[in-house]
Amino acid sequence: MSHPLLAELATLLPANALVTAADKLAPRLLDQRKRMQGQTLGLALPSSTAEVVQIVQACRRHGVVIVPQGGNTGLVGGATPMQANSLIVGSDKLNRIRALDPAGYTLTAEAGCILDDIRTAAESADRLFPLWLGSSGSARLGGLVGTNAGGLQVQRYGNTRELVLGIEAVLADGRIYQGLHTLRKRNAGYDLKQLFIGAEGTLGFVTAATLRLFPAERSEAVALVALPDPEAVLALFAQAKAQLGEVLTAFEMIDAEALRIMAKHFPSIAQPFSPIPPCAALIALSGGEAEQVLNERLAELLIAAGHEDAALAQDGSQAKALWALREHIPAAQTREGPSIKHDLALPISAIPAFVRAARAALAEQLPEARPVVFGHMGDGNLHFNLGWPRREDFEQAEARANALLFDLTLAHGGDLSAEHGIGRLRLAEADARHDPVERALMREIKATLDPDGVFNPGVLV
Amino acid sequence: MSHPLLAELATLLPANALVTAADKLAPRLLDQRKRMQGQTLGLALPSSTAEVVQIVQACRRHGVVIVPQGGNTGLVGGATPMQANSLIVGSDKLNRIRALDPAGYTLTAEAGCILDDIRTAAESADRLFPLWLGSSGSARLGGLVGTNAGGLQVQRYGNTRELVLGIEAVLADGRIYQGLHTLRKRNAGYDLKQLFIGAEGTLGFVTAATLRLFPAERSEAVALVALPDPEAVLALFAQAKAQLGEVLTAFEMIDAEALRIMAKHFPSIAQPFSPIPPCAALIALSGGEAEQVLNERLAELLIAAGHEDAALAQDGSQAKALWALREHIPAAQTREGPSIKHDLALPISAIPAFVRAARAALAEQLPEARPVVFGHMGDGNLHFNLGWPRREDFEQAEARANALLFDLTLAHGGDLSAEHGIGRLRLAEADARHDPVERALMREIKATLDPDGVFNPGVLV
């Protein structure tokens, strides 16, 4: 407790709200991908918005910067404190669901609520909160909002931005922005909540959010389709979207290498096709109709598209198994070895040409890289990851792969981050590759809302 | 051409791009509701983003403020220049559709494009642009973006904000914000386009936008249901939303007085119920299924809810006729006489209690007011308008009605503008009734992006 900030916080906060023990801080200092090792004065765990205000004001007085942290599941280092003169403010104890209004289709939850718990609370009222991603069991709402998280059902329901109606946040000067609106429509000027969504904790500390709910889905239909190439995946997506627009919940692409490492590391997850096809598409429908009707609509699509040999789940457990084949790919990659990860945004119709061009360029310039290509085809979001055989020259390989793939992505009208954000990992790339006016406007807004740079310096702007 | 700005613009712009003739300016100086009579130096009609930059820079040099104007269909005076030292910048000649990508479900159009033309362009590619409102034939994209327009299909597709992927805008210092992104997902920091959507022209001049398209709807089912009271409308909405979520495109409420003035002023629009019921709900479904399937789903809902006597459109012309009954209410009100208009946002579940309380309070305090209550029930958006018998004391009556209804609206968790915006008409109310931190943040952002107040002073902030 040598630092005067810690001494002051110890008088302001309850005893268990301040953590300085090295073993308890350790997991907070390492980012999810274990690539950044941070440092900090300590961890504050406020239980109320008022406590957050006190912490922010104390940090300002002592010139200590604040790193907001949720479930620490981000993939670009946005929640890792890299300077010693920092305080992590964790949302763990801001964990109440403040309101649930089934008739109004809204739920208001504090920043520390875990996504799965929010989904369960909505379900208990026969409602759906559709945000769903690999880290649903540990990601917290504040981080989901701060990173504008995407996931597996964006095609139908949008990403976090589209699911947030209102925000409560503590600003750098200690003011509380009280914007927990529950109204679907409110045209009252600049939509301030948008500033905090996707801001990666750089403009304030989000303490709570009001979320949109949807009718519970009565049924689901899932199919895995074997396809010869990305062009065929695109053609099937076009047909699915046009024919099944309102019930098309997800459309994922999985390539042969992803299926191969799944067979190797998760042999218990059954694969419907043998031999492994060059590509597969996972199609999920859901809605208020009977399961039989959805299955028929999906079967009609597959017949019309000439894919009668697709694997159509016959029940919920088969549907889960098909989803497991998609969901476990990142885990299979981790077991396979080091991998260079990308989260590319692309115009949907450019994906096949991009995949071909990227494979060709890699084969020539980085022949040891083994592409594992999968992702949210329906959202134009490709996780174009590269297995790499060694740790020794991983970082050199990564730098070369990034340059090559980002060049190609931008040339195809895409961008370097679809859902993971900028964080620390992509900051230099964003500065180098994005429109200078866009970057300048962000810095101007940052300077307006956080003139002393209290919140998350070195991240995003 | 006495003012030096006009002399300079005459050298910068093509001959027909500068209008100063009083007869041509006159319709630009009167707001849509004919309540504000403006004044101006002239009207500039740029044909390109580069010309907008020149106009903005010239206005700055000469200390003249800019009032962006689209179709001049706004209802809160946001496009009416109230100071002589102003220049109207009209989007009329920025009227090209720059790109249409059916496979990517996007369309990029300039600010002057008229909504109906955008919808038609999308239709020509078998796509839907779902924004649809009374002024679709004259509203221009720049104004729709600037006001975050809502309309008749928000329940399903969202308002303008949810339909915009990217924005191009000229800033107060002449920089161009080039954010015409076509990507569905792009997590690259603060979502700057959100600042310009709903900003009512106070932060920059929007020159173009990229819009989200949807699969063309193959079929539609429409019903009008007679109901005893707003409680019954709410109950039916709850059931419709839960049962038909993904195909429920619109759910409108219409009260007896609205039906009565429709019968009086538009007798050619058939009314299915006699005598006129206390309330009616218009329900519209649409989607990719066969018309018969949608009609069956709607009929099932009505039977389950005990409304077998509803009027279910048997074909497209009957559907149009039911819609006409809803769409012509504002015109019927104009024919009926003066009316005090409101655009209230309310929690959906509070609407019945609000309507009862408002009727009771008006009967006591403003007994001559004749409520005409209709609106987008499914979005929690009520047009609670009041017919008033005379022009003489209209403004006093309006002031009393506003105070009464806004008090009640806020007491029910609602707000004073759902889709029309703040403009000039609601500015004092917004300052008085909205969270001071929210208002202060808006002023801070305004001061950052437009420090000299070039854009639309007196509007919104």
In chain B, residues with a C-beta closer than 8 Å to the C-beta of A246 are 215, 246-247, 287-288
Q: Two tokens at B176?
A: 């161009």
Q: By percentage, how much of chain B surpasses pLDDT 90?
A: 97
| Chain B residue closest in CA terms to A245 | B215
Kindly tell me if the per-residue pLDDT of B49 is higher than 70: yes
Q: How is residue A412 annotated by DSSP? A: T
Provide the Cα torsion B404, B407, B410, B412; round to 10°: -70
First CA to last CA across chain A, in angstroms?
31
In whole angstroms, give the CA distance from residue A55 to residue A9: 7
Q: B381 forms bridges with which residues in the sheet?
A: B345, B376
Is residue A309 classed exposed, middle or buried when 0-12, 13-18 and 19+ CB atoms within 10 A define those classes?
exposed
pLDDT in tens, B355-407: 999 999 999 999 999 999 999 999 999 999 999 999 999 999 999 999 999 99
Please determine, for the modelled complex, whether the ipTM score is greater than 0.95.
yes
Q: What is the pLDDT of residue B1?
A: 55
Residue A170 contacts residue A449 (beta carbons within 8 Å): no
Residue of A187, A207, A424 to mutate when probing chain B, most B C-beta within 10 A = A187
The whole-angstrom distance between B280's CA and the closest CA on chain A is 20
Q: How far is the CA of A436 from the CAs of A202, A403, B179, B192, B331, in angstroms?
A: 19, 19, 11, 13, 48
Provide the Cα torsion B360, B361, B367, B370; round to 10°: -70
Contacts of B352 (CB under 8 A, 6+ apart): B229, B230, B231, B233, B234
- Mean pLDDT by runs of 10 across the 461 residues of chain A is 91 96 97 94 98 98 98 96 97 98 96 98 98 96 98 96 98 98 96 98 98 95 97 97 94 98 97 96 93 94 92 95 96 95 96 98 98 96 96 96 98 97 97 98 98 98 97
Q: By percentage, how much of chain A surpasses pLDDT 70?
A: 100
Q: How many CB pairs under 8 A join A and B?
A: 246
CB B177 to CB A103 under 8 A?
no
Among residues A26, A30, A32, the alpha carbon closest in space to that of A330 is found at A32
pLDDT in tens, B6-19: 999 999 999 999 99
pLDDT in tens, B251-299: 999 999 999 999 999 999 999 999 999 999 999 999 988 899 999 999 9
Q: What is the pLDDT of residue A1?
A: 55
| Nearest-CB residue to A191 (from B171, B194, B288) | B194
| Chain B residue closest in CA terms to A381 | B185
In whole angstroms, give the CA distance from residue A264 to residue A93: 40
CB A199 to CB B177 under 8 A?
no
| Nearest-CB residue to A186 (from B203, B241, B415) | B415
CB B214 to CB A245 under 8 A?
yes
State how far Cα B457 lies from the chain centre. Answer: 21
Can you tell me whether residue B285 is helix, strand or coil?
A: strand
The whole-angstrom distance between A454's CA and the closest CA on chain B is 17
Residue B100 CB coordination number (10 Å): 18
Q: B376 forms bridges with which residues in the sheet?
A: B381
Instruction: State phi, psi for A5 to the nearest 5 degrees.
Output: -60, -45
In chain B, residues with a C-beta closer than 8 Å to the C-beta of A158 are 162
In whole angstroms, give the CA distance from residue B77 to residue B93: 22
| Residues written for chain A | 461
In whole angstroms, give the CA distance from residue A192 to residue B441: 8
Q: What is the pLDDT of residue A308?
A: 82
Can you tell me whether residue B14 is helix, strand or coil?
A: coil
Q: A211 forms bridges with which residues in the sheet?
A: A107, A164
Q: What is the pLDDT of residue B289?
A: 85
pLDDT in tens, A251-279: 999 999 999 999 999 999 999 999 999 99
* H/E run at residue B363: helix B351-365
Q: By percentage, how much of chain B surpasses pLDDT 70?
A: 100
CB B435 to CB A189 under 8 A?
no
pLDDT in tens, B398-425: 999 999 999 999 999 999 999 999 999 9
Q: What is the pLDDT of residue A289?
A: 85
| Nearest-CB residue to A448 (from B105, B346, B448) | B448
Domains annotated on chain B, with CATH: 4-90 (3.30.43.10), 97-215 (3.30.465.10), 219-331 (3.30.70.2190), 337-420 (3.30.70.2740)
Q: What is the pLDDT of residue A250?
A: 97
In whole angstroms, give the CA distance from residue A203 to residue A195: 8
What's the longest Cα–Cα distance across chain A?
71
The whole-angstrom distance between B21's CA and the closest CA on chain A is 33
In whole angstroms, give the CA distance from residue A230 to residue A237: 10
Q: What is the pLDDT of residue A298?
A: 96
* H/E run at residue A283: strand A279-287
Q: Two tokens at B419?
A: 């889709």
The whole-angstrom distance between B2's CA and the closest CA on chain A is 36
pLDDT in tens, A80-135: 999 999 999 999 999 999 999 999 999 999 999 999 999 999 999 999 999 999 99
In whole angstroms, give the CA distance from residue A402 to residue A34: 19
In whole angstroms, give the CA distance from residue B368 to residue B352: 22
| Chain B residue closest in CA terms to A197 | B190
| Chain B residue closest in CA terms to A447 | B448
CB B199 to CB A215 under 8 A?
no
